[in-house]
Amino acid sequence: MEANQPLQRTSARRPNPGSVALPSTAGKLPPQAIELEEAVLGSLLIDRNALSKVIDILTPETFYVDAHQAVFSVVKDLFSESQPVDILTVAQALRKAGQLERIGGEAKLINLSTRVSSSAHIEYHARIVVQKHIQRELIRIASELTEKAYDESTDVLDLLDSAEQSLFSVSQGNLKRNYESSLNLVKQALDRISAISQREGLSGVPSGFRDLDRVTSGWQNSDLVILAARPGMGKTAFVLSMARNIAISHKIPVAVFSLEMSSVQLITRMISSETGIGAEKLRRGNLDT
Domain end: 173, 190, 218, which one?
173
Give the DSSP letter of residue 245.
Answer: I
227 and 164 in a common domain: no
194-233 in b/e form (b: 16+ CB < 10 A) is eeeeeeeebbebbbbeeeebeebebbeeeeeeeeeeeeee
163 and 65 in a common domain: yes
Give the 3-state secondary structure of residue 205: strand
- Which distant-in-sequence residues (6+ apart) come within 8 Å of 95 by Cβ? none
Q: Is the Cα torsion angle 277, 278, 282, 288 positive or negative in sign?
A: negative
Is 126:133 a contact under the CB 8 Å cutoff? no
45 is a domain residue: yes
Residue 282, pLDDT score: 80
21 burial via Cβ count (<10 Å: 0-12, 13-18, 19+): exposed
50 is a domain residue: yes
Residue 50 belongs to domain spanning:
34-173
207 and 167 in a common domain: no
Residue 19, pLDDT score: 40
Per-residue pLDDT of the chain (289 residues; tens, 9 = 90+): 444 454 444 444 444 434 444 445 667 889 999 999 999 999 999 998 899 889 888 999 999 999 999 999 999 999 989 899 999 999 999 999 999 999 999 999 999 999 999 999 999 999 999 999 999 999 999 999 999 999 999 999 999 999 999 998 888 766 555 666 788 888 888 888 888 888 788 888 999 899 999 898 999 888 888 999 998 888 988 999 999 999 998 899 999 998 888 888 888 888 888 888 877 788 777 776 5
User: Which among 230, 184, 178, 225 is positioned nearest to 204, based on CA atoms?
Assistant: 225
Distance separating alpha carbons of residues 209 and 228, to the nearest angstrom: 17
Domain end: 173, 193, 214, which one?
173
193 is a domain residue: no
CATH of the domain at 235: 3.40.50.300
Distance separating alpha carbons of residues 266 and 262, to the nearest angstrom: 6
Give the 3-state secondary structure of residue 139: helix
Q: What are phi and psi of 219, to 5 degrees?
A: -70, 130
Number of domains in the chain: 2
153 is a domain residue: yes
Is 60:69 a contact under the CB 8 Å cutoff? yes
264 burial via Cβ count (<10 Å: 0-12, 13-18, 19+): exposed
221 and 126 in a common domain: no
Domain end: 154, 173, 192, which one?
173
Strand partners, 205: 219
Residue 148, pLDDT score: 93
264 is a domain residue: yes
Distance separating alpha carbons of residues 46 and 131, to the nearest angstrom: 24
53 and 143 in a common domain: yes
Residue 17, pLDDT score: 39
169 and 236 in a common domain: no
Residue 193, pLDDT score: 87
Distance separating alpha carbons of residues 214 and 202, to the nearest angstrom: 8
Residue 89, pLDDT score: 95
CATH of the domain at 126: 1.10.860.10
Distance separating alpha carbons of residues 244 and 272, to the nearest angstrom: 12
Give the DSSP letter of residue 208.
Answer: S
16 is a domain residue: no
